[in-house]
Amino acid sequence: MLAETDTGQNERWLTCPPYSGGFYQHNPPPVFADDQKQATRISASQVESTGGISLFTGDVLIERDGLRLQAENIQYNKTQQTIDITSKLHIDAENLAFDADKGWLDLESEGGIFDNAHYQIPTSQFQGSTPRLTTSKDNETVLVDSLFSSCPPGQEDWYLQTSLLRLNHATDTGTATHAVLWFKHVPLFYSPWLQFPLGEERRSGFLMPGIATSGSRGFEFSIPWYWNIAPNQDALFTLRYMNLRGTMLN
């Protein structure tokens, strides 16, 4: 919840603009049989092989258990089980989908480095962009100088700008370093460290800050903090600053 406007006697909170089909529709990666878990399937329009190095060009499709890669040009090192992708690419994994300009991938560990990526978390509407995306065998994605939002691509009314963002897919947790919250291209909030859930599981921590404007309170900024006390008990505290009324804790 990020903005509030006066509409007569009624006030309302607004978040992202109306959905216009901007989210990428995740195509789940293949699931191989138990005896094929380490198999790699590669197809392309043309293949040239020399000394254990194969060049695949045109409609390249690589599939492993839990991973699908599509590109136009790749270089495959069969001995090292690595791939250099020299064209634009798209990857679908269980917990992440992204486009990138180029990249490198270790097929055995599924660790890789990708440049100028636009990513989406399939289990949520979180998406964003980064000049450098790194995946690791620890089920973690690291994003450098990333933009992160739940709004559709190209319609990011709000977004989080971070110097470093770690997405832990095992715990469904995002951890941001030097995070700045922007709304309508205006910086609202800075935190040197911020952690938040990527899914819907309850956990203690800060929720998304909010802004509001109204005739009675003026400009308002709020920071909610959720306390997951027990499976059957929780609490929500919100620190609110209102320039016409001062500061209060709800």
Q: What is the mean pLDDT of residues 35-40?
A: 89
pLDDT-based confidence at residue 18 (cuts at 50, 70, 90)? low
Q: What is the mean pLDDT of residues 21-31?
A: 71
Over the stretch 150-194, which tens digit does the pLDDT of each residue have?
888 888 888 899 999 999 998 888 999 999 988 788 887 788 998
Over the stretch 197-209, which tens digit does the pLDDT of each residue have?
887 667 776 776 6
Q: What is the mean pLDDT of residues 39-54?
A: 94
pLDDT score of 1 more than 50: no
pTM above threshold 0.85: no
Contact 207, 181 (CB under 8 A): no
65-68's contacts with Cβ under 8 Å and 24+ in sequence apart are 65/29, 65/30, 65/31, 65/32, 65/36, 65/37, 65/38, 65/39, 66/29, 66/30, 66/31, 66/93, 66/94, 66/110, 67/29, 67/91, 67/92, 67/93, 67/110, 68/27, 68/29, 68/30, 68/92, 68/93
pLDDT score of 8 more than 70: no
Q: What are the CA-CA distances from residue 95 to residues 130, 167, 226 (Å)? A: 17, 10, 25
pLDDT score of 44 more than 90: yes
Residue 228 or residue 63, greater confidence: 63
In this structure, the dihedral spanned by the alpha carbons of residues 161, 162, 165 and 167, taken in order and rounded to 10 degrees, is: -20
3-state secondary structure of 178: strand
Phi and psi at 34, nearest 5°, equal: -55, -40
Q: Is 163 exposed, middle or buried (0-12, 13-18, 19+ CB in 10 A)?
A: middle
